């Protein structure tokens, strides 16, 4: 098998510079990506780039520039064409969901479909041209079911769809275009709710804030970034780059696959323009139990991937500055201010020759502190909540801080998810904050359950870098 990094982009492939990385329309200096980096385009590179920041691959120089932009996360892929839908087999892993299989098969007429019945009490039936059913007598888990489906497929590409999903529009054509980049192994669509934003508060929260929904922003997927993984509920994989789901995992097998794929040199991409609808659980008990179940996978990931599965990843200066801010004391604020100014000074020095370096350094430091505060809030309220609760019971000042953070973090997330990303919020701020806190308690419970079961604290150990 050819190593993915050794194969270039095809002629006609286009890359669009992310406009969020451009300041004042000047393409000479680009700041962005995850983690944040700075790219300076030479006069030769600018000559290959259109006024709106698009590069079309047609020779070795444009091919190299396009790849550099993609690798940095500053360039967004805009492939002009890809494999046809006939080169894809759809694999549906299922256990005890006949109605879901019926709905999904009807939604993909004329496609090759392999249904893997993972030990259902009543054998799953699926009729239609090109539809095959594989049955396990016992339940082996979704990882094993997906692997078996791919092994039985004869096409170069395989789309995994869970039985409680239904794709929309030209989802497959949109995703397949990304495979014209020969280094791409996995592409995933956005997973949104199947129902309108009506009904109970629980149903509206499940549809509007699902753990399967990676949001409206496209980008490369890699551990430690804003897009750390994509869910296996809906993804398309290239057979040559598919490393196989770990069948010993009953949860977080998709996270594990994404991280191993990235480590192997293949690329994973998320494209929210393509959408698949998911029938989210709508009772409070089922929703919270699923969140708890997801939390149990953190210990398994920490055992396999080490630091990248840590609940908190930060530099020591940022961590100290965040702690200083959270103390809400004059000394703490002074320490945070000094560290912030030092960070701005150091970053500014690294940007010698970059126009507007003072503003870039200030924004970079501000983002780092903001991200550090968000991580601290999530750690206190989600990952470490049993410890937070124990301390709060005996320390009134800390209890007051925790209550304020619980409201402030929830309100900030409500604005980010329910106001800025949608025209009509599914929940009001009070309902959203209440559901989010229950969500955190459930996930944190599962995390501690997994840690205690595995007798390994790796999933709770923060990672601090100098």
Helix (H) or strand (E) holding 95: none
What percentage of the chain exceeds 90 in pLDDT? Answer: 76
* pTM flag (> 0.85): yes
Q: What is the pLDDT of residue 1?
A: 45
What pLDDT is attached to residue 237?
98
In degrees, rounded to 5, the angle at the alpha carbon of residue 65 between the alpha carbons of residues 59 and 67 is 100
328's tokens: 């809400």
| Cα–Cα distance, 8 to 57 (Å, whole number) | 10
- What CATH number should be reported for the domain whose range is 85-282? 3.90.550.10
Question: What is the structure's pLDDT at 455?
Answer: 75
Residue 363 to residue 324: CA distance in whole angstroms = 20
Q: What is the predicted pLDDT for the residue at 24? A: 82
Q: What is the DSSP letter of 9?
A: P
What does the DSSP 8-state code read for residue 64? H
Which residues of the chain fall below pLDDT 50? Answer: 1-2
| Alpha-carbon gap, residue 146 to 186, rounded angstroms | 14
Domain boundaries, the chain: 4-78, 85-282, 313-465
Q: Which residue, among 377, 382, 374, 367, has the nearest Cα to 401 in the 3D structure?
A: 377
Predicted confidence (pLDDT) per residue in 143-189, tens digit:
999 999 999 999 999 999 999 999 998 999 999 999 999 999 999 99
d(CA 165, CA 188): 13
């Amino acid at each position: 098998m050819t190593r993915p990094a050794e194969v270039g982009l095809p002629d006609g492939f286009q890359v669009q510079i992310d406009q969020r990385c451009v300041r004042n329309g000047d393409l000479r200096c680009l700041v962005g990506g995850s983690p944040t980096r700075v790219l300076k385009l030479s006069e030769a590179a600018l000559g290959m780039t259109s006024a709106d920041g698009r590069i079309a691959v047609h020779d070795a120089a444009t091919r190299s520039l396009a790849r550099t932009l993609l690798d940095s996360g500053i360039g967004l892929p805009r492939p002009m064409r890809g494999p046809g839908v006939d080169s894809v087999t759809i694999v549906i892993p299922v256990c005890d969901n006949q109605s879901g299989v019926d709905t999904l098969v009807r939604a993909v007429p004329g496609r090759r479909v392999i249904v893997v019945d993972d030990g259902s009490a009543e054998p799953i039936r699926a009729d239609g041209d090109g539809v095959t059913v594989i049955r396990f007598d016992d339940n082996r888990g979704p990882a094993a079911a997906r692997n078996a489906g791919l092994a039985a497929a004869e096409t170069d590409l395989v789309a995994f769809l869970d039985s409680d999903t239904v794709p929309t529009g030209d989802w497959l054509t949109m995703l397949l275009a990304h495979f014209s980049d020969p280094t791409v192994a996995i592409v995933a669509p956005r997973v949104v709710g199947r129902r309108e934003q009506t009904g109970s508060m629980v149903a509206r929260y499940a549809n509007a804030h699902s753990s399967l929904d990676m949001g409206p922003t496209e980008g490369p997927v890699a551990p430690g970034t804003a897009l750390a993984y994509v869910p296996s509920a809906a993804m398309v994989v290239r057979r040559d780059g598919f490393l196989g789901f770990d069948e010993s995992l009953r949860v977080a097998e998709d996270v594990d696959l994404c991280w191993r794929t990235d480590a192997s040199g293949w690329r994973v991409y998320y494209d929210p323009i393509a959408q698949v609808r998911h029938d989210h659980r709508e009772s409070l008990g089922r929703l919270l139990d699923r969140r708890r179940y997801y939390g149990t996978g953190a210990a398994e990931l920490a055992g396999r991937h080490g630091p990248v599965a840590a609940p908190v990843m930060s530099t020591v200066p940022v961590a100290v500055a965040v702690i200083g801010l959270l103390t809400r004391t004059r000394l703490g604020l002074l320490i945070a201010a000094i560290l912030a100014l030092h960070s701005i000074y150091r970053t500014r020095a690294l940007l010698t020759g970059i126009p507007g370096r003072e503003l870039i350094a200030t924004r970079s430091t501000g983002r780092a502190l903001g991200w550090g505060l968000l991580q601290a809030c999530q750690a206190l309220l989600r990952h470490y909540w049993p410890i937070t609760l124990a301390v709060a019971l005996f320390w009134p000042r800390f209890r007051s801080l925790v209550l304020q953070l619980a409201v402030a973090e929830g309100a900030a997330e409500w604005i980010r998810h329910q106001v800025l990303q949608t025209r009509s919020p599914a929940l009001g701020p009070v309902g959203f904050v209440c559901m989010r806190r229950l969500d955190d308690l459930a996930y944190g419970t599962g995390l501690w359950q997994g840690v205690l079961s595995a007798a390994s604290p790796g999933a709770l150990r923060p990672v601090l870098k100098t």
